[in-house]
Amino acid sequence: MGKALMELGCGAGALGKCIARYCDSYLGVDCSRIALGIAKLVSPENCTYLHVNEHKELSKYFGTIDTVVSRFFWIHQNMEMARRALTFLRYFLKPQGRIYMDFFMLCQEKAVGHWKNTWITLSPQEPLAEATSATYEYTFEEITTLIEEFGFKIIHHQPHGETQRRYIVITR
Ligand SMILES: C[S@@+](CC[C@H](N)C(=O)[O-])C[C@H]1O[C@@H](n2cnc3c(N)ncnc32)[C@H](O)[C@@H]1O
C-alpha cells in the first residue's frame, strides 16, 4: 500500500482489477477505447483509465507514479515504439520510480503449458508489423542500449524460459 501504480497497455483491466487492492491508486493507459471502456466497468474505485491521447487528464499524473507495471506489453513493441513508450512514461515517474518490463526471450526447451506455442518473432529494428500480435525479440544488449538512452539503469534482470520472457526492472 501507499504506492501509485501505472500500467501502460492496460487493455481491459485484467491486471488493474486484481492489483488495485495492493496500492493507493492505479492508472491504466491504453490506445484502445473499447478496452478502456471494459476496464472501467470491471475495476474498483481507486482505478483510473485514460486513453494515451487524453493529454490534459494525463498531465495531472506527471511526477506522481512510484511504479510502472506492464504485462504482455514490451513484447509487442519494436525499438521505435519502445522509445516512444519510454519518452511517454518518463513524464509520470517519480525520481526514484521503477518500471517493470516484460521482454520476449525465445527459449522453447524450457517453455511450459501454453508458452510452448510456436512464436514468430521479429527483430526490434524491423518496422512495426501490421499484426498487433507480432512479437519482437531483443538481445540483452539491445535492451541495455534502449534503457541507457533514456537515462535509466537496469536494477533487476530475470531471464525466465518457462514464460519466454526477460523480466527487467529499471530506475534512474
Ligand atoms: C496484449 S494486450 C495486454 C493487455 C493487458 N496488459 C493484460 O495483461 O491483459 C496489449 C495492450 O497494449 C495496448 N497497446 C499496445 N501498444 C500500445 C501503445 N503504444 N500505447 C498504448 N497502448 C498500447 C493494446 O491496445 C492492448 O490493449
pLDDT digits (tens, 9 = 90+) for 110-121: 888 877 777 779
Query: Which of 8, 52, 73, 101 for mutating ligand 1's site (highest number of atoms within 8 Å of CB)?
Result: 73
Whole-model pTM: value is 0.96
**Residue 1 in this model has a pLDDT that exceeds 80:** no
Ligand 1 near 52 CB (within 6 A): yes
C-alpha angle 55-102-38 in degrees, rounded to nearest 5: 50
71 Cβ below 6 A of ligand 1: yes
* 167 vs 113, higher pLDDT: 167
How many angstroms from the chain centroid is the CA of residue 76? 10
Q: What is the mean pLDDT of the chain?
A: 95
Residue of the CA atom closest to atom 11 of ligand 1: 9
Could you say which DSSP state residue 19 is in?
A: H
All three cell numbers of 123: 527483430
